[in-house]
C-alpha cells in the first residue's frame, strides 16, 4: 500500500483506458448535447429577438397606416361636409333666384292681366257709354269724331 511497485504502471494503463472509454462514450455525447442545447438556446434567442424586431416594425407600420387612414377619413368627412355645404348654398341661391324670378313673372303677369283687364273694361265702357250716350241723345253717334269725343269723355270719367 505504501510500497512503490508495478501497480503504478498498471494504474496508468488503467486510467488511460478509462479516459478513452469515458471520453468516447460519456463525455463526447454529453458535450454534444450541451453544445447542441447551447446552440439551440442561442438560436432561439436570436430568432426571438428577430421576431420581436419584426413585430415592432409591423406595429410601427400598422400605427402609421392607422394614422394615415384616420387622417384620410377625416379629410373625406371634411370634404363631404364642405361639398354638402356648397350644394346647400347653391341650392339655396338657385331656389332664391327661382323664387325671385317666379315672383317677378307673376308680378308681370298680374300687371299684364291688369292692363288687359283695364283695356277690356275701357273698351266695354266706351261701348257701353257710347250706347248709353246714343240712346240718351237718341241719335247715332257713330262718326269718328263722336267716338273720339266719347272716348275722351270716358277716359276723363275713368281716370
Partner 1 sequence: MGNAEQASNEIIHYLPQHIDFLGATVHMQTLYMSWFACIICVVVLGGIACGAKLIPGRAQCMLEMLVEWLCGLMEGNMGKEGRRVFAPFLLTLFFYIFVSNEIGLLPQVGGHMVHFTSPTNDINVAFALALTVMAVNYLVGIYRNGFGFFGHFVKPFAAMLPLNMVEEIAKPVTMSLRLFGNILAGEILLIVLYQLAPWVAPDAWVFFSLCVGFLQAFVFTMLAIVNFAPIFKHEH
Per CB under 8 A, residues contacting partner 1 are 1-12, 14-19, 21-23, 25-31, 33-34, 36-37, 40
Q: How far is the CB of 72 from partner 1 (least distance, A)?
A: 51
- C-alpha 40/C-alpha 97 separation (Å) is 83
Closest to partner 1 by CB, 33 or 78: 33
Angle 108-112-116 from CA coordinates, rounded to 5°: 170
The CA-atom distances, in angstroms, between 120 and each of 5, 112, 127 are 165, 12, 10
Closest to partner 1 by CB, 48 or 58: 48
Decide if 120 contacts 126 (C-beta within 8 A).
no
Closest to partner 1 by CB, 44 or 111: 44
Q: How far is the CB of 34 from partner 1 (least distance, A)?
A: 7
Q: How far is the CB of 20 from partner 1 (least distance, A)?
A: 9
Closest to partner 1 by CB, 1 or 144: 1
Q: How far is the CB of 15 from partner 1 (least distance, A)?
A: 6
Helix and strand counts by DSSP (H, E) for the chain: 3, 0
The owner of cell 371634411 is 78
Amino acid at each position: 500500500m505504501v510500497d512503490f511497485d508495478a501497480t503504478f504502471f498498471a494504474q496508468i494503463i488503467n486510467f488511460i483506458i478509462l479516459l478513452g472509454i469515458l471520453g468516447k462514450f460519456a463525455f463526447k455525447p454529453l458535450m454534444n448535447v450541451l453544445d447542441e442545447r447551447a446552440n439551440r438556446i442561442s438560436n432561439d434567442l436570436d430568432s426571438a429577438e428577430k421576431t420581436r424586431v419584426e413585430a415592432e416594425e409591423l406595429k410601427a407600420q400598422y400605427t402609421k397606416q392607422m394614422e394615415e387612414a384616420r387622417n384620410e377619413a377625416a379629410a373625406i368627412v371634411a370634404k363631404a361636409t364642405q361639398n354638402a355645404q356648397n350644394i346647400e348654398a347653391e341650392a339655396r341661391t338657385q331656389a332664391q333666384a327661382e323664387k325671385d324670378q317666379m315672383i317677378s313673372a307673376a308680378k308681370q303677369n298680374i300687371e299684364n292681366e291688369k292692363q288687359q283687364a283695364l283695356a277690356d273694361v275701357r273698351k266695354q265702357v266706351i261701348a257701353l257709354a257710347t250706347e248709353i250716350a246714343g240712346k240718351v241723345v237718341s241719335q247715332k253717334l257713330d262718326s269718328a269724331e263722336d267716338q273720339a269725343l266719347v272716348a275722351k269723355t270716358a277716359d276723363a270719367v275713368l281716370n
